[in-house]
Chains A and B, each alone.
Chain A
Protein backbone atom coordinates (compact mmCIF):
# COMPACT_ATOMS: atom_id res chain seq x y z
CA UNK A 1 0.00 0.00 0.00
CA UNK A 2 2.70 2.45 0.96
CA UNK A 3 4.29 1.95 -2.44
CA UNK A 4 1.25 3.40 -4.21
CA UNK A 5 0.53 6.58 -2.26
CA UNK A 6 -1.39 8.27 -5.05
CA UNK A 7 -3.91 5.53 -5.75
CA UNK A 8 -4.55 4.13 -2.31
CA UNK A 9 -7.24 5.46 -0.02
CA UNK A 10 -5.42 7.70 2.41
CA UNK A 11 -6.16 7.56 6.08
CA UNK A 12 -8.20 10.50 7.32
CA UNK A 13 -6.24 13.69 7.73
CA UNK A 14 -3.66 13.54 4.95
CA UNK A 15 -5.60 13.16 1.69
CA UNK A 16 -3.22 14.18 -1.09
CA UNK A 17 -4.34 16.97 -3.38
CA UNK A 18 -6.05 15.53 -6.45
CA UNK A 19 -7.86 18.03 -8.64
CA UNK A 20 -11.38 16.79 -9.50
CA UNK A 21 -11.03 18.56 -12.85
CA UNK A 22 -8.79 15.65 -13.93
CA UNK A 23 -11.40 13.04 -13.00
CA UNK A 24 -13.17 10.93 -15.64
CA UNK A 25 -16.20 8.69 -15.52
CA UNK A 26 -15.30 4.99 -15.27
CA UNK A 27 -15.98 2.88 -18.35
CA UNK A 28 -18.89 0.50 -17.76
CA UNK A 29 -18.92 -2.48 -20.12
CA UNK A 30 -22.25 -3.76 -18.80
CA UNK A 31 -24.05 -0.52 -19.69
CA UNK A 32 -22.60 -0.56 -23.20
CA UNK A 33 -23.77 -4.12 -23.84
CA UNK A 34 -27.23 -3.22 -22.55
CA UNK A 35 -27.41 -0.20 -24.84
CA UNK A 36 -26.33 -2.18 -27.88
CA UNK A 37 -28.86 -4.92 -27.11
CA UNK A 38 -31.74 -2.49 -26.65
CA UNK A 39 -30.91 -0.53 -29.80
CA UNK A 40 -30.71 -3.77 -31.78
CA UNK A 41 -34.10 -4.93 -30.53
CA UNK A 42 -35.67 -1.53 -31.23
CA UNK A 43 -34.23 -1.31 -34.76
CA UNK A 44 -35.32 -4.87 -35.47
CA UNK A 45 -38.84 -4.14 -34.25
CA UNK A 46 -39.04 -0.97 -36.35
CA UNK A 47 -37.81 -2.97 -39.35
CA UNK A 48 -40.47 -5.63 -38.86
CA UNK A 49 -43.25 -3.06 -38.48
CA UNK A 50 -42.07 -1.05 -41.47
CA UNK A 51 -41.93 -4.11 -43.73
CA UNK A 52 -45.17 -5.68 -42.59
CA UNK A 53 -47.60 -5.44 -45.49
CA UNK A 54 -50.57 -5.57 -43.10
CA UNK A 55 -49.77 -2.16 -41.66
CA UNK A 56 -50.32 -0.66 -45.08
CA UNK A 57 -47.78 2.15 -44.80
CA UNK A 58 -48.40 3.42 -48.33
CA UNK A 59 -52.06 3.86 -47.36
CA UNK A 60 -51.04 5.67 -44.18
CA UNK A 61 -48.93 8.04 -46.22
CA UNK A 62 -51.66 8.56 -48.80
CA UNK A 63 -54.29 9.49 -46.25
CA UNK A 64 -52.13 11.31 -43.72
CA UNK A 65 -53.00 14.75 -45.10
CA UNK A 66 -56.38 13.76 -46.51
CA UNK A 67 -58.79 16.73 -46.23
CA UNK A 68 -61.28 14.67 -44.21
CA UNK A 69 -58.56 13.66 -41.77
CA UNK A 70 -57.26 17.22 -41.48
CA UNK A 71 -60.70 18.66 -40.85
CA UNK A 72 -61.25 15.94 -38.23
CA UNK A 73 -57.95 16.96 -36.68
CA UNK A 74 -59.11 20.56 -36.52
CA UNK A 75 -62.34 19.50 -34.84
CA UNK A 76 -60.43 17.46 -32.26
CA UNK A 77 -58.01 20.29 -31.56
CA UNK A 78 -60.74 22.92 -31.45
CA UNK A 79 -62.87 20.84 -29.10
CA UNK A 80 -59.86 20.24 -26.87
CA UNK A 81 -58.95 23.92 -26.68
CA UNK A 82 -62.50 25.16 -26.09
CA UNK A 83 -63.48 22.43 -23.62
CA UNK A 84 -60.21 22.75 -21.75
CA UNK A 85 -60.45 26.55 -21.53
CA UNK A 86 -64.05 26.45 -20.35
CA UNK A 87 -63.27 23.58 -18.00
CA UNK A 88 -60.32 25.43 -16.46
CA UNK A 89 -62.25 28.66 -15.89
CA UNK A 90 -65.21 26.78 -14.47
CA UNK A 91 -62.85 24.59 -12.43
CA UNK A 92 -61.22 27.68 -10.93
CA UNK A 93 -64.63 28.97 -9.92
CA UNK A 94 -65.55 25.62 -8.42
CA UNK A 95 -62.25 25.41 -6.54
CA UNK A 96 -62.76 28.86 -5.04
CA UNK A 97 -66.38 28.01 -4.18
CA UNK A 98 -65.30 24.77 -2.57
CA UNK A 99 -62.72 26.58 -0.43
CA UNK A 100 -64.96 29.47 0.59
CA UNK A 101 -66.60 29.79 3.97
CA UNK A 102 -70.03 30.01 2.37
CA UNK A 103 -71.94 26.77 2.99
CA UNK A 104 -74.10 27.24 -0.10
CA UNK A 105 -71.06 27.62 -2.37
CA UNK A 106 -69.14 24.69 -0.87
CA UNK A 107 -72.15 22.38 -1.08
CA UNK A 108 -72.85 23.30 -4.68
CA UNK A 109 -69.22 22.78 -5.70
CA UNK A 110 -68.99 19.48 -3.85
CA UNK A 111 -72.20 18.22 -5.46
CA UNK A 112 -71.03 19.24 -8.94
CA UNK A 113 -67.66 17.56 -8.54
CA UNK A 114 -69.26 14.45 -7.05
CA UNK A 115 -71.64 14.06 -9.97
CA UNK A 116 -69.36 14.82 -12.89
CA UNK A 117 -66.42 12.83 -11.62
CA UNK A 118 -68.67 9.95 -10.61
CA UNK A 119 -70.32 9.22 -13.95
CA UNK A 120 -68.70 8.02 -17.20
CA UNK A 121 -67.93 10.76 -19.68
CA UNK A 122 -69.38 8.67 -22.51
CA UNK A 123 -72.72 8.52 -20.73
CA UNK A 124 -72.63 12.26 -20.01
CA UNK A 125 -72.03 12.99 -23.69
CA UNK A 126 -74.92 10.79 -24.78
CA UNK A 127 -77.18 12.48 -22.22
CA UNK A 128 -76.30 15.95 -23.47
CA UNK A 129 -76.81 14.86 -27.05
CA UNK A 130 -80.23 13.41 -26.22
CA UNK A 131 -81.28 16.25 -23.97
CA UNK A 132 -84.25 17.01 -26.22
CA UNK A 133 -85.88 13.68 -25.36
CA UNK A 134 -85.75 14.70 -21.68
CA UNK A 135 -86.47 18.41 -22.05
CA UNK A 136 -87.98 19.34 -25.43
CA UNK A 137 -87.90 23.02 -24.46
CA UNK A 138 -85.16 24.99 -22.73
CA UNK A 139 -86.37 28.10 -20.96
CA UNK A 140 -85.12 30.80 -18.68
CA UNK A 141 -87.78 31.29 -16.05
CA UNK A 142 -88.33 32.40 -12.50
CA UNK A 143 -88.78 29.21 -10.45
CA UNK A 144 -92.53 28.45 -10.31
CA UNK A 145 -93.06 31.81 -12.03
CA UNK A 146 -93.29 33.22 -15.53
CA UNK A 147 -91.02 32.13 -18.39
CA UNK A 148 -88.70 34.81 -19.72
CA UNK A 149 -87.25 33.10 -22.78
CA UNK A 150 -87.57 29.72 -24.37
CA UNK A 151 -85.85 27.69 -27.11
CA UNK A 152 -86.39 24.42 -28.86
CA UNK A 153 -83.78 22.06 -27.37
CA UNK A 154 -82.86 20.55 -30.74
CA UNK A 155 -81.89 23.94 -32.09
CA UNK A 156 -79.59 24.62 -29.12
CA UNK A 157 -78.02 21.20 -28.60
CA UNK A 158 -76.18 20.34 -31.79
CA UNK A 159 -73.51 17.63 -31.71
CA UNK A 160 -71.03 20.49 -31.33
CA UNK A 161 -72.67 22.09 -28.30
CA UNK A 162 -73.35 18.71 -26.72
CA UNK A 163 -69.69 17.81 -27.14
CA UNK A 164 -68.44 21.12 -25.75
CA UNK A 165 -70.81 21.16 -22.79
CA UNK A 166 -70.18 17.50 -21.99
CA UNK A 167 -66.41 17.72 -22.19
CA UNK A 168 -66.17 21.11 -20.44
CA UNK A 169 -68.36 20.22 -17.47
CA UNK A 170 -66.57 16.94 -16.96
CA UNK A 171 -63.22 18.66 -17.23
CA UNK A 172 -64.30 21.36 -14.79
CA UNK A 173 -64.88 18.76 -12.10
CA UNK A 174 -61.35 17.41 -12.46
CA UNK A 175 -59.72 20.81 -12.85
CA UNK A 176 -61.52 22.04 -9.74
CA UNK A 177 -59.75 19.44 -7.65
CA UNK A 178 -56.39 20.07 -9.32
CA UNK A 179 -56.69 23.82 -8.80
CA UNK A 180 -57.88 23.41 -5.22
CA UNK A 181 -54.86 21.24 -4.50
CA UNK A 182 -52.63 23.92 -5.99
CA UNK A 183 -54.21 26.72 -3.98
CA UNK A 184 -53.88 24.69 -0.79
CA UNK A 185 -50.19 24.10 -1.49
CA UNK A 186 -49.41 27.81 -1.14
CA UNK A 187 -48.10 28.85 2.27
CA UNK A 188 -50.84 30.29 4.48
CA UNK A 189 -48.53 33.20 5.32
CA UNK A 190 -48.83 34.46 1.75
CA UNK A 191 -52.58 34.96 1.99
CA UNK A 192 -52.10 36.62 5.34
CA UNK A 193 -49.45 38.98 4.01
CA UNK A 194 -51.63 39.98 1.08
CA UNK A 195 -54.46 40.60 3.52
CA UNK A 196 -52.25 42.62 5.83
CA UNK A 197 -51.29 44.85 2.91
CA UNK A 198 -54.95 45.58 2.26
CA UNK A 199 -55.36 43.54 -0.91
CA UNK A 200 -58.86 42.44 -1.76
CA UNK A 201 -59.48 38.68 -1.85
CA UNK A 202 -59.69 38.69 -5.63
CA UNK A 203 -56.45 40.57 -6.05
CA UNK A 204 -54.60 38.40 -3.54
CA UNK A 205 -55.76 35.33 -5.41
CA UNK A 206 -54.81 36.68 -8.80
CA UNK A 207 -51.46 38.29 -7.98
CA UNK A 208 -50.12 36.25 -5.08
CA UNK A 209 -51.78 32.88 -4.65
CA UNK A 210 -52.48 31.62 -8.19
CA UNK A 211 -48.99 32.36 -9.57
CA UNK A 212 -47.51 30.30 -6.75
CA UNK A 213 -50.12 27.58 -7.09
CA UNK A 214 -49.33 27.25 -10.80
CA UNK A 215 -46.23 25.22 -10.05
CA UNK A 216 -48.31 22.40 -8.68
CA UNK A 217 -51.24 22.99 -11.05
CA UNK A 218 -49.34 22.82 -14.35
CA UNK A 219 -48.09 19.20 -14.35
CA UNK A 220 -51.48 17.55 -13.64
CA UNK A 221 -53.14 20.01 -16.03
CA UNK A 222 -50.79 18.86 -18.78
CA UNK A 223 -51.96 15.37 -17.99
CA UNK A 224 -55.58 16.49 -18.24
CA UNK A 225 -54.97 18.20 -21.55
CA UNK A 226 -53.51 15.04 -23.03
CA UNK A 227 -56.39 12.99 -21.64
CA UNK A 228 -58.74 15.53 -23.12
CA UNK A 229 -57.32 15.18 -26.63
CA UNK A 230 -57.95 11.49 -26.44
CA UNK A 231 -61.31 11.98 -24.72
CA UNK A 232 -62.48 14.04 -27.69
CA UNK A 233 -62.47 10.76 -29.64
CA UNK A 234 -65.51 9.79 -27.55
CA UNK A 235 -67.57 12.43 -29.33
CA UNK A 236 -67.56 10.23 -32.44
CA UNK A 237 -70.49 8.41 -30.76
CA UNK A 238 -72.61 11.53 -31.07
CA UNK A 239 -71.75 11.93 -34.75
CA UNK A 240 -69.24 14.70 -34.20
CA UNK A 241 -66.66 14.55 -37.02
CA UNK A 242 -63.50 14.52 -34.95
CA UNK A 243 -60.21 12.90 -35.93
CA UNK A 244 -61.27 9.39 -34.99
CA UNK A 245 -64.69 9.78 -36.61
CA UNK A 246 -63.02 10.99 -39.82
CA UNK A 247 -60.70 8.01 -40.14
CA UNK A 248 -63.60 5.72 -39.30
CA UNK A 249 -65.68 7.29 -42.04
CA UNK A 250 -62.86 6.61 -44.47
CA UNK A 251 -62.24 2.99 -43.48
CA UNK A 252 -65.97 2.30 -43.58
CA UNK A 253 -65.62 2.95 -47.32
CA UNK A 254 -62.18 1.49 -47.98
CA UNK A 255 -61.95 -1.19 -45.27
CA UNK A 256 -58.31 -0.15 -44.58
CA UNK A 257 -58.95 -0.25 -40.86
CA UNK A 258 -55.42 -0.62 -39.49
CA UNK A 259 -53.74 1.96 -41.74
CA UNK A 260 -56.44 4.52 -41.06
CA UNK A 261 -56.22 3.97 -37.31
CA UNK A 262 -52.46 4.40 -37.63
CA UNK A 263 -53.06 7.77 -39.26
CA UNK A 264 -55.08 8.82 -36.20
CA UNK A 265 -52.56 7.35 -33.76
CA UNK A 266 -49.65 9.18 -35.34
CA UNK A 267 -51.57 12.46 -35.27
CA UNK A 268 -52.48 11.98 -31.61
CA UNK A 269 -48.86 11.21 -30.79
CA UNK A 270 -47.64 14.26 -32.68
CA UNK A 271 -50.00 16.56 -30.81
CA UNK A 272 -49.14 15.13 -27.39
CA UNK A 273 -45.43 15.47 -28.16
CA UNK A 274 -45.88 19.14 -28.98
CA UNK A 275 -47.88 19.60 -25.78
CA UNK A 276 -45.15 17.93 -23.73
CA UNK A 277 -42.61 20.43 -25.03
CA UNK A 278 -44.99 23.30 -24.27
CA UNK A 279 -45.55 21.99 -20.77
CA UNK A 280 -41.86 21.87 -19.96
CA UNK A 281 -41.53 25.51 -21.03
CA UNK A 282 -44.46 26.52 -18.83
CA UNK A 283 -42.99 24.62 -15.90
CA UNK A 284 -39.66 26.34 -16.39
CA UNK A 285 -41.45 29.70 -16.42
CA UNK A 286 -43.21 29.11 -13.12
CA UNK A 287 -40.06 27.65 -11.58
CA UNK A 288 -37.94 30.68 -12.48
CA UNK A 289 -37.86 32.09 -8.96
CA UNK A 290 -36.26 28.85 -7.79
CA UNK A 291 -33.08 29.24 -9.75
CA UNK A 292 -30.39 30.28 -7.37
CA UNK A 293 -28.16 31.82 -9.99
CA UNK A 294 -29.29 34.19 -12.72
CA UNK A 295 -30.61 37.60 -11.92
CA UNK A 296 -28.67 37.89 -8.69
CA UNK A 297 -25.34 37.37 -10.41
CA UNK A 298 -25.89 40.08 -12.99
CA UNK A 299 -24.88 43.57 -11.96
CA UNK A 300 -28.14 45.44 -11.69
CA UNK A 301 -28.55 48.94 -12.94
CA UNK A 302 -31.56 50.98 -12.01
CA UNK A 303 -32.68 50.83 -15.65
CA UNK A 304 -32.55 47.06 -15.76
CA UNK A 305 -34.49 46.90 -12.55
CA UNK A 306 -37.17 49.16 -13.93
CA UNK A 307 -37.50 46.92 -16.95
CA UNK A 308 -37.77 43.87 -14.75
CA UNK A 309 -40.57 45.45 -12.78
CA UNK A 310 -42.59 46.34 -15.83
CA UNK A 311 -43.27 42.77 -16.89
Chain B
Protein backbone atom coordinates (compact mmCIF):
# COMPACT_ATOMS: atom_id res chain seq x y z
CA UNK B 1 0.00 0.00 0.00
CA UNK B 2 1.28 3.43 -0.84
CA UNK B 3 0.71 6.65 1.04
CA UNK B 4 -2.08 7.84 -1.21
CA UNK B 5 -4.01 4.63 -0.83
CA UNK B 6 -3.68 4.55 2.92
CA UNK B 7 -5.43 7.90 2.99
CA UNK B 8 -8.51 6.34 1.41
CA UNK B 9 -11.37 5.86 3.82
CA UNK B 10 -11.52 2.41 5.40
CA UNK B 11 -15.31 2.54 5.51
CA UNK B 12 -17.40 4.29 2.91
CA UNK B 13 -21.17 4.52 3.17
CA UNK B 14 -23.16 6.36 0.52
CA UNK B 15 -26.87 7.05 0.62
CA UNK B 16 -27.53 3.90 2.66
CA UNK B 17 -31.17 2.96 2.98
CA UNK B 18 -32.50 0.05 4.97
CA UNK B 19 -36.09 -1.01 5.58
CA UNK B 20 -37.63 -3.81 7.58
CA UNK B 21 -40.79 -4.50 5.62
CA UNK B 22 -42.60 -1.17 5.64
CA UNK B 23 -40.46 0.44 8.31
CA UNK B 24 -37.61 2.51 6.92
CA UNK B 25 -34.86 2.43 9.54
CA UNK B 26 -31.97 4.05 7.67
CA UNK B 27 -32.91 6.94 5.42
CA UNK B 28 -29.81 7.87 3.50
CA UNK B 29 -26.63 7.58 5.54
CA UNK B 30 -23.37 9.05 4.23
CA UNK B 31 -20.31 8.31 6.30
CA UNK B 32 -16.59 7.96 5.61
CA UNK B 33 -14.25 6.58 8.22
CA UNK B 34 -10.50 6.92 7.87
CA UNK B 35 -8.02 4.26 8.98
CA UNK B 36 -7.20 4.68 12.67
CA UNK B 37 -10.24 6.78 13.35
CA UNK B 38 -12.45 6.20 16.37
CA UNK B 39 -16.04 7.09 15.62
CA UNK B 40 -18.71 7.06 18.31
CA UNK B 41 -22.33 6.88 17.23
CA UNK B 42 -24.82 8.44 19.61
CA UNK B 43 -28.56 8.68 19.31
CA UNK B 44 -31.88 7.81 20.89
CA UNK B 45 -33.20 4.26 21.02
CA UNK B 46 -34.60 3.10 17.69
CA UNK B 47 -32.68 5.68 15.68
CA UNK B 48 -30.98 2.92 13.65
CA UNK B 49 -27.51 2.81 15.25
CA UNK B 50 -27.35 -0.97 15.60
CA UNK B 51 -28.82 -1.41 12.16
CA UNK B 52 -26.14 0.79 10.61
CA UNK B 53 -23.42 -1.19 12.37
CA UNK B 54 -24.93 -4.48 11.22
CA UNK B 55 -25.16 -3.21 7.66
CA UNK B 56 -21.44 -2.42 7.66
CA UNK B 57 -20.53 -6.11 8.02
CA UNK B 58 -23.59 -7.19 6.07
CA UNK B 59 -25.39 -8.95 8.90
CA UNK B 60 -28.23 -6.98 7.36
CA UNK B 61 -28.46 -6.35 3.62
CA UNK B 62 -29.16 -2.75 2.63
CA UNK B 63 -31.91 -1.85 0.18
CA UNK B 64 -30.26 1.07 -1.55
CA UNK B 65 -26.89 2.73 -1.62
CA UNK B 66 -23.36 1.51 -1.19
CA UNK B 67 -21.14 0.30 1.63
CA UNK B 68 -17.48 -0.54 1.16
CA UNK B 69 -14.90 -1.64 3.70
CA UNK B 70 -11.24 -1.50 2.78
CA UNK B 71 -12.16 -0.82 -0.84
CA UNK B 72 -14.44 -3.85 -1.16
CA UNK B 73 -18.14 -3.41 -1.64
CA UNK B 74 -19.67 -5.51 1.11
CA UNK B 75 -22.03 -8.25 -0.02
CA UNK B 76 -21.54 -7.77 -3.74
CA UNK B 77 -19.04 -8.15 -6.51
CA UNK B 78 -18.66 -6.79 -9.99
CA UNK B 79 -18.94 -9.38 -12.75
CA UNK B 80 -18.85 -8.40 -16.41
CA UNK B 81 -19.72 -4.87 -15.38
CA UNK B 82 -22.79 -6.07 -13.49
CA UNK B 83 -23.23 -5.93 -9.73
CA UNK B 84 -23.90 -9.41 -8.41
CA UNK B 85 -24.89 -10.64 -4.94
CA UNK B 86 -22.15 -12.62 -3.26
CA UNK B 87 -22.83 -16.11 -1.96
CA UNK B 88 -23.00 -16.65 1.81
CA UNK B 89 -19.44 -17.95 1.76
CA UNK B 90 -18.27 -14.99 -0.28
CA UNK B 91 -19.72 -12.62 2.29
CA UNK B 92 -18.13 -14.67 5.06
CA UNK B 93 -14.76 -14.11 3.39
CA UNK B 94 -15.30 -10.33 3.32
CA UNK B 95 -16.10 -10.26 7.03
CA UNK B 96 -12.91 -11.95 8.12
CA UNK B 97 -11.10 -8.75 8.96
CA UNK B 98 -13.98 -7.03 10.70
CA UNK B 99 -14.25 -7.67 14.43
CA UNK B 100 -17.52 -7.27 16.25
CA UNK B 101 -18.40 -6.96 19.93
CA UNK B 102 -22.01 -7.45 20.94
CA UNK B 103 -24.14 -6.03 23.71
CA UNK B 104 -24.85 -9.55 24.99
CA UNK B 105 -21.18 -10.67 24.67
CA UNK B 106 -22.22 -13.82 22.73
CA UNK B 107 -19.24 -15.87 23.83
CA UNK B 108 -19.45 -19.51 22.76
CA UNK B 109 -20.69 -21.07 26.03
CA UNK B 110 -19.46 -24.58 25.24
CA UNK B 111 -15.86 -23.46 24.80
CA UNK B 112 -13.32 -22.24 27.31
CA UNK B 113 -12.12 -18.66 27.14
CA UNK B 114 -9.01 -19.74 25.26
CA UNK B 115 -10.97 -21.87 22.80
CA UNK B 116 -13.30 -18.93 22.22
CA UNK B 117 -10.39 -16.73 21.28
CA UNK B 118 -8.53 -19.15 18.99
CA UNK B 119 -11.62 -20.46 17.20
CA UNK B 120 -11.56 -17.94 14.35
CA UNK B 121 -7.76 -17.57 13.99
CA UNK B 122 -7.29 -21.34 13.73
CA UNK B 123 -10.51 -22.26 11.97
CA UNK B 124 -10.85 -19.37 9.55
CA UNK B 125 -7.52 -17.61 9.27
CA UNK B 126 -5.46 -20.78 9.14
CA UNK B 127 -3.11 -19.89 12.00
CA UNK B 128 -1.41 -22.77 13.73
CA UNK B 129 -2.88 -23.71 17.07
CA UNK B 130 0.34 -22.86 18.84
CA UNK B 131 0.69 -19.44 17.27
CA UNK B 132 -2.98 -18.66 17.94
CA UNK B 133 -2.72 -19.81 21.54
CA UNK B 134 0.33 -17.66 22.21
CA UNK B 135 -1.39 -14.67 20.69
CA UNK B 136 -4.56 -15.42 22.67
CA UNK B 137 -2.65 -15.52 25.94
CA UNK B 138 -1.07 -12.18 25.09
CA UNK B 139 -4.49 -10.70 24.35
CA UNK B 140 -5.87 -12.08 27.59
CA UNK B 141 -3.03 -10.41 29.43
CA UNK B 142 -3.85 -7.19 27.63
CA UNK B 143 -7.46 -7.28 28.82
CA UNK B 144 -6.29 -8.37 32.27
CA UNK B 145 -7.68 -11.90 32.30
CA UNK B 146 -4.62 -14.12 32.02
CA UNK B 147 -5.77 -16.44 34.78
CA UNK B 148 -9.13 -17.11 33.13
CA UNK B 149 -7.90 -18.92 30.01
CA UNK B 150 -9.35 -22.28 31.04
CA UNK B 151 -12.62 -20.95 32.46
CA UNK B 152 -15.95 -21.29 30.74
CA UNK B 153 -17.88 -18.08 29.97
CA UNK B 154 -20.56 -18.86 32.55
CA UNK B 155 -17.90 -18.80 35.24
CA UNK B 156 -17.05 -15.15 34.48
CA UNK B 157 -18.69 -11.88 35.46
CA UNK B 158 -20.35 -9.80 32.75
CA UNK B 159 -17.43 -7.38 32.58
CA UNK B 160 -14.95 -10.24 32.27
CA UNK B 161 -17.05 -11.87 29.55
CA UNK B 162 -17.12 -8.66 27.57
CA UNK B 163 -13.37 -8.28 27.86
CA UNK B 164 -12.95 -11.83 26.59
CA UNK B 165 -15.29 -10.95 23.72
CA UNK B 166 -13.03 -8.00 22.90
CA UNK B 167 -9.94 -10.22 23.02
CA UNK B 168 -11.73 -12.71 20.76
CA UNK B 169 -12.48 -9.99 18.20
CA UNK B 170 -8.89 -8.70 18.39
CA UNK B 171 -7.51 -12.18 17.79
CA UNK B 172 -8.46 -12.00 14.12
CA UNK B 173 -6.24 -8.90 13.79
CA UNK B 174 -9.15 -6.82 12.53
CA UNK B 175 -8.79 -3.77 10.33
CA UNK B 176 -12.06 -2.52 11.75
CA UNK B 177 -13.81 -3.12 15.04
CA UNK B 178 -17.53 -2.66 15.53
CA UNK B 179 -18.90 -2.26 19.05
CA UNK B 180 -22.64 -2.36 19.61
CA UNK B 181 -23.39 -0.99 23.07
CA UNK B 182 -20.66 -3.08 24.65
CA UNK B 183 -21.40 -1.83 28.17
CA UNK B 184 -25.19 -1.65 28.14
CA UNK B 185 -25.70 -5.11 29.61
CA UNK B 186 -23.23 -4.51 32.44
CA UNK B 187 -23.71 -3.48 36.04
CA UNK B 188 -22.49 0.09 36.56
CA UNK B 189 -19.41 -1.00 38.51
CA UNK B 190 -18.29 -3.24 35.63
CA UNK B 191 -18.65 -0.63 32.88
CA UNK B 192 -15.33 1.04 33.78
CA UNK B 193 -13.13 -2.00 33.13
CA UNK B 194 -14.57 -2.53 29.64
CA UNK B 195 -14.31 1.14 28.72
CA UNK B 196 -10.71 1.21 29.92
CA UNK B 197 -9.91 -1.68 27.59
CA UNK B 198 -11.59 0.12 24.70
CA UNK B 199 -9.81 3.38 25.43
CA UNK B 200 -6.58 1.44 25.29
CA UNK B 201 -7.43 0.11 21.84
CA UNK B 202 -8.38 3.56 20.61
CA UNK B 203 -4.98 4.90 21.65
CA UNK B 204 -3.23 2.14 19.74
CA UNK B 205 -4.69 3.28 16.46
CA UNK B 206 -7.33 0.62 15.86
CA UNK B 207 -10.16 1.79 13.62
CA UNK B 208 -13.30 1.58 15.73
CA UNK B 209 -16.98 2.31 15.32
CA UNK B 210 -18.63 2.38 18.70
CA UNK B 211 -22.34 2.63 19.41
CA UNK B 212 -22.70 3.60 23.04
CA UNK B 213 -24.57 5.72 25.53
CA UNK B 214 -21.35 6.46 27.43
CA UNK B 215 -20.94 10.17 26.72
CA UNK B 216 -17.77 10.28 28.79
CA UNK B 217 -16.16 7.68 26.55
CA UNK B 218 -17.22 9.60 23.46
CA UNK B 219 -15.72 12.79 24.80
CA UNK B 220 -12.38 11.26 25.71
CA UNK B 221 -11.75 8.55 23.15
CA UNK B 222 -13.61 9.56 19.99
CA UNK B 223 -12.00 11.34 17.07
CA UNK B 224 -15.45 12.00 15.73
CA UNK B 225 -18.95 11.80 17.12
CA UNK B 226 -21.92 10.99 14.91
CA UNK B 227 -25.37 11.80 16.20
CA UNK B 228 -28.21 9.82 14.62
CA UNK B 229 -31.93 10.37 14.89
CA UNK B 230 -34.79 8.86 12.92
CA UNK B 231 -32.51 6.94 10.57
CA UNK B 232 -30.43 9.95 9.57
CA UNK B 233 -27.16 11.48 10.63
CA UNK B 234 -28.23 14.73 12.23
CA UNK B 235 -24.90 16.07 13.36
CA UNK B 236 -21.31 14.97 13.08
CA UNK B 237 -17.97 16.35 14.15
CA UNK B 238 -15.28 16.49 16.82
CA UNK B 239 -16.54 15.49 20.29
CA UNK B 240 -15.92 18.96 21.71
CA UNK B 241 -18.23 20.39 19.04
CA UNK B 242 -21.02 17.79 18.95
CA UNK B 243 -21.06 17.09 22.68
CA UNK B 244 -19.66 20.38 23.93
CA UNK B 245 -21.59 22.68 21.65
CA UNK B 246 -24.42 20.85 19.84
CA UNK B 247 -26.15 22.77 17.06
CA UNK B 248 -29.16 20.64 16.21
CA UNK B 249 -32.16 20.77 18.58
CA UNK B 250 -32.43 16.93 18.62
CA UNK B 251 -28.80 16.62 19.67
CA UNK B 252 -29.30 19.23 22.36
CA UNK B 253 -32.42 17.45 23.65
CA UNK B 254 -30.64 14.08 23.67
CA UNK B 255 -27.51 15.33 25.40
CA UNK B 256 -29.40 17.35 28.00
CA UNK B 257 -30.49 14.01 29.51
CA UNK B 258 -26.90 13.18 30.36
CA UNK B 259 -26.11 16.42 32.15
Q: Which residues of A contact B (CB under 8 A)?
A: 187, 189-190, 192-193, 195-201, 203, 207-208, 211-212, 286, 288-292, 294-296, 298-300, 302, 304-306, 308-310
Contact = CB atoms under 8 A, between A and B. Distances in A.
Nearest to B124: A198
Contacts of A296: 148, 150-152, 155-156
Interface stretch (B7-15, B103-111, B186-194, B201-209): B103-111
B51 interface: no
The dominant DSSP class at the A interface is helix
Nearest to B118: A309
A199 B114 CA distance: 18
Given A189-B104, A305-B137, 9 more contacts: A196-B57, A198-B92, A198-B93, A198-B94, A207-B119, A300-B147, A300-B148, A305-B133, A308-B115
A122 B150 CA distance: 51
Given A198-B124, A308-B149, A192 B59 contact: yes
A310 B149 CA distance: 13
Contacts, number: 109
Contacts of A196: 57, 59, 95, 98, 100
Contact of B114 (A187, A195, A309): A309
Interface residues of B, number: 42
Interface in B154-174: 154-156, 172
B34 interface: no
A195 B59 contact: yes
A306 B120 CA distance: 16
B155 A292 contact: yes
A211 B104 CA distance: 20
A197, A203, A212 — most chain B CB neighbours (10 Å): A197
Nearest to A203: B123
B150 A199 contact: no
Contacts of A193: 100, 102, 106, 108
A192 B106 contact: yes
A227 to B, nearest CB: 28
A30 to B, nearest CB: 40
B92 A199 contact: yes
B168 to A, nearest CB: 8
